[in-house]
A and B are shown apart, each in its own frame.
Chain A
Amino acid sequence: MSDTQRTLIRGARLLGGPATDVLVDGETVAEVGTGLTGEGATVVEAEGRVLLPGLVDLHTHLREPGREDSETVLTGTRAAASGGFTAVHAMANTFPVADTAGVVEQVWRLGRASGYCDVQPVGAVTVGLGGRQLAELGAMHESAAGVVVFSDDGKCVDDAVIMRRALEYVKAFDGVIAQHAQEPRLTEGAQMNEGVVSAELGLTGWPAVAEESIIARDVLLAAHVGSRVHVCHLSTAGSVELVRWAKSKGWRVTAEVTPHHLLLTDELVRSYDPVYKVNPPLRTEQDVLALREALADGTIDCVATDHAPHPHEDKDCEWGAAAMGMVGLETALSVVQHTMVDTGLLDWSQVADRMSARPATIGRLPGHGRPVAPGEPANLTLVDPDHRAPVEPGAFASRSRNSPYRGLELPGRVTDTWLRGRATLRNGALV
């Protein structure tokens, strides 16, 4: 990366507004205005395109170390750059689990080496995600990785005392516990949302109350000890009500929703195609509409992908034997445009808020989620909102192909991404 690198983004609709020129000089935004000349700069003609701050994902599974057959830090960050992300939070459920300073530092260093996007490791709350003994949260925070977000994602911290202690403990360094809300006893053997469809298909039900009861408990715990709690991949209308209530009390609760829960419903499980098998499960139309509304009114703070790559053989099988999860980095913005922007629920400046500013704030990521203004880090994403094309997982930068949107026509295409002034994606191609 050269300090003298200059880029002029010409005529982009900044946050969806009127055509604006943005001059990037080195790692920062130098000028924002109209009629900028930018002597010697690389010019990107961006007429009709929307310029956003680089997207930030609070919830990404990069799989390294341990499951490099499904994704690596390099392939995952390339997928992130393709999807317009400049920072991702790498979840802790790797092999070995990211429950020590050593593992989180390794992941952090792999991210630095990749150069495609910043990788902020998430630390495990408990040793081995076992839910019984706190991991060395302070050591992970003090490591080079500077961990702020802790999560046993994939497993719920179901023990109320452990959850209370974790919430209290991370107050010392402004940490946050990101809870995977899933009451384990209510979801033993669970395969899909419990309701009309599960009753017909004979698949063990995954009741909404298994998620909601944990959220209810955790917001009360967070209020009691005055800590920050973040709800991962909130998926039900009832969960929305609980978070709305907790926020009305002024409690420090934040929440995320995945793109797939904004679009897909459990009706798709009728195909028994495991590409639709995910944790938390796809819910009902009513839930989808409640989630969209909550993201629009700010009850849900942000969109997080829960990008969960799996090798083909783990999905090319019967439902019960299949792994849970979907890739999402490279389709997230398109799904958000489709479900939130094209429906009139969010404008582009609000998309920037939900997909960049707020997740960066929750994760305490300096340098991300900042306004596009002179002096700010040049983490930028350029989108062509008028592009429409069927999703083709074969073209993904991710190592895995388990996308539920295969063949589905979605709007919007990320054409360019800049990480601190350097293009990671240029005209749709990784750099």
Chain B
Amino acid sequence: MKHHLVSAADLTRDDAVLILDTAEELSRVAGRPIKKLPTLRGRTVVNLFFEDSTRTRISFEAAAKRLSADVINFSAKGSSVSKGESLKDTALTLQAMGADAVVIRHHDSGAPHRLATSGWIGGHVVNAGDGTHEHPTQALLDAFALRRRLADGALGADLAGRRVTIVGDILHSRVARSNVRLLTTLGAEVTVVAPPTLVPVGVESWPCAVSYDLDAVLPDSDAVMMLRVQRERMNAAYFPTEREYARRYGLDGERMARMPEHAVVMHPGPMNRGMEITAEVADSPRCTVVEQVSAGVDVRMAVLYLLLGGAGPGDEEPKGATPRGAEATRGNRA
């Protein structure tokens, strides 16, 4: 694996499978009474959040804490950032505090890339969502949840031949960009579905199919991922009304019935019930929303473990404290 995780494009198929396998091993810890490993003891992980986020931040926080890392939450609101401090000075501050990894969420596309390549910090950079660019750990957790549902979470397995349909605001979605890259890397066939206004100009270079017709794609989907559609997009004339959007691109029970029986419904959350997804679908057993949340902690543990655990204090941990599988996957990295 590379030194940073900024884009899903940073991951080869083997990197991605290794992360999923490691997450699978680490998830067993979550089933224990004491959900904690000493792997990252003495390491410092900073959650640097320039944009409001509850789910992703607490997911990373839980992941780092379960690996015994020291966690510092740095939220842009109420910090020196709101007083005009630059990303550079913030980064230099974190570097001086000895951050081993910086998990960054930023409203500007490319800010994590900039942090990783500018020389401002020496630690690992993990992109927790940047603007409308990427959100690679979301794609990893989606792949993890998908592999569990469609391939029983088999170690070493990828998603070859699985057909995944991503529906919604593709233009503004970092989840879509990361998923198109990662799922394709894992062998899946991806189709994005949206009104033409919400598909980026230049999408033809993406490794996926594009459709404007949800009903035509549903019967051939092993998974349908519904993206959150912000209501304010309506004001910028991306679509006429919420009702029309829901009618043409929302997933309701009737549409879900046209999916193959084994097919699942995914959503990165938070859901707009009644907009892109109806309550009937959201609450059905085919919907993986809650599994995705728990997968998020497992996958982020795996990412932090693989980025930070390979050398240093992680190697000195007492025998037996690491799950056997994780030990084995660490050996596989050589």
List A295-333 residues whose CB lies under 8 Å from chain B: 313, 316-321
A318 lies within 8 A of B110 (CB):
yes
Q: Which of A200, A207, A316, A318 contacts B106 (CB 8 A)?
A: A318
Asked whether any CB of chain A lies closer than 8 Å to the CB of B283, the reply is no
Asked whether any CB of chain A lies closer than 8 Å to the CB of B134, the reply is yes
The smallest C-beta distance from A84 to any residue of chain B, in angstroms, reads: 34
Asked whether any CB of chain B lies closer than 8 Å to the CB of A113, the reply is no
A199 vs B203: C-alpha distance when bound (angstroms): 6
Residue of A nearest to B204 (CB): A196
List A177-223 residues whose CB lies under 8 Å from chain B: 191, 194-205, 207
With A317-B87, A321-B87 given, is the CB distance from A199 to B200 under 8 Å?
yes
Q: Which residue, of B130, B202, B205, has the highest number of chain A Cβ atoms within 10 A?
A: B202
Asked whether any CB of chain B lies closer than 8 Å to the CB of A271, the reply is yes
A202 lies within 8 A of B87 (CB):
no
A194 vs B108: C-alpha distance when bound (angstroms): 17
Asked whether any CB of chain A lies closer than 8 Å to the CB of B86, the reply is yes
The smallest C-beta distance from A256 to any residue of chain B, in angstroms, reads: 27
A202 lies within 8 A of B130 (CB):
yes
Contacts of B133 in A (CB 8 A): 201-203
Q: Which of B88, B109, B203, B206 contacts A203 (CB 8 A)?
A: B109
Contacts of A321 in B (CB 8 A): 86-87, 108
B109 lies within 8 A of A202 (CB):
yes
List B164-223 residues whose CB lies under 8 Å from chain A: 174, 177, 200-206
Q: Which residue, of A194, A198, A207, A318, has the highest number of chain B Cβ atoms within 10 A?
A: A318
A interface, how many residues as a size bin?
A: 20 to 34
A205 vs B199: C-alpha distance when bound (angstroms): 12
Contacts of B77 in A (CB 8 A): none
Contacts of A195 in B (CB 8 A): 201-202
Q: Which of A200, A272, A317 contacts B86 (CB 8 A)?
A: A317
Contacts of B294 in A (CB 8 A): none
Residue of B nearest to A199 (CB): B202
A194 lies within 8 A of B117 (CB):
no
Q: Which residue, of A202, A273, A313, has the highest number of chain B Cβ atoms within 10 A?
A: A202
Question: Per-residue CB proximity of B6-28 to A under 8 Å, as 1/0?
Answer: 00000000000000000000000
Contacts of B206 in A (CB 8 A): 199-200
Contacts of A197 in B (CB 8 A): 202
Contacts of A313 in B (CB 8 A): 86
Contacts of A271 in B (CB 8 A): 113, 117
**How many interface residues does B have (CB within 8 Å)?**
27
Number of A-B contacts defined by CB within 8 Å: 80
Contacts of B201 in A (CB 8 A): 194-195, 198-199, 205, 207
The smallest C-beta distance from B164 to any residue of chain A, in angstroms, reads: 19
A319 vs B114: C-alpha distance when bound (angstroms): 8
The smallest C-beta distance from A205 to any residue of chain B, in angstroms, reads: 6
Q: Which of B88, B108, B174, B203 contacts A319 (CB 8 A)?
A: B108
A207 vs B203: C-alpha distance when bound (angstroms): 14
B202 lies within 8 A of A319 (CB):
no
The smallest C-beta distance from B203 to any residue of chain A, in angstroms, reads: 6
B110 lies within 8 A of A317 (CB):
no
A319 vs B134: C-alpha distance when bound (angstroms): 15
The smallest C-beta distance from A401 to any residue of chain B, in angstroms, reads: 16
Contacts of A199 in B (CB 8 A): 200-203, 205-206
A204 vs B107: C-alpha distance when bound (angstroms): 12
A317 vs B206: C-alpha distance when bound (angstroms): 28
A316 vs B92: C-alpha distance when bound (angstroms): 13
A272 lies within 8 A of B114 (CB):
yes
B87 lies within 8 A of A201 (CB):
no
Contacts of B107 in A (CB 8 A): 320
B114 lies within 8 A of A200 (CB):
no
List A16-59 residues whose CB lies under 8 Å from chain B: none
Residue of A nearest to B132 (CB): A202
A326 vs B11: C-alpha distance when bound (angstroms): 34
With A317-B87, A320-B108 given, is the CB distance from A202 to B174 under 8 Å?
yes
The smallest C-beta distance from A257 to any residue of chain B, in angstroms, reads: 24
A320 lies within 8 A of B205 (CB):
no
Asked whether any CB of chain A lies closer than 8 Å to the CB of B153, the reply is no
B111 lies within 8 A of A320 (CB):
yes
The smallest C-beta distance from A6 to any residue of chain B, in angstroms, reads: 53
A273 vs B87: C-alpha distance when bound (angstroms): 14
Residue of A nearest to B115 (CB): A318
Contacts of A198 in B (CB 8 A): 200-202
A194 vs B203: C-alpha distance when bound (angstroms): 11
Residue numbers of B with Cβ under 8 A of A are: 86-88, 106-111, 113-114, 117-118, 130-134, 174, 177, 200-206
A-B residue pairs in contact (CB < 8 Å), sample of 18? A195-B201, A196-B202, A196-B204, A199-B203, A200-B177, A200-B205, A200-B206, A202-B131, A203-B132, A204-B132, A271-B117, A272-B117, A313-B86, A316-B88, A316-B118, A319-B114, A320-B107, A320-B110
Residue numbers of A with Cβ under 8 A of B are: 191, 194-205, 207, 271-273, 313, 316-321
Q: Which 5 A-B pairs have the closest CB atoms?
A: A199-B202, A202-B133, A320-B108, A272-B110, A199-B200
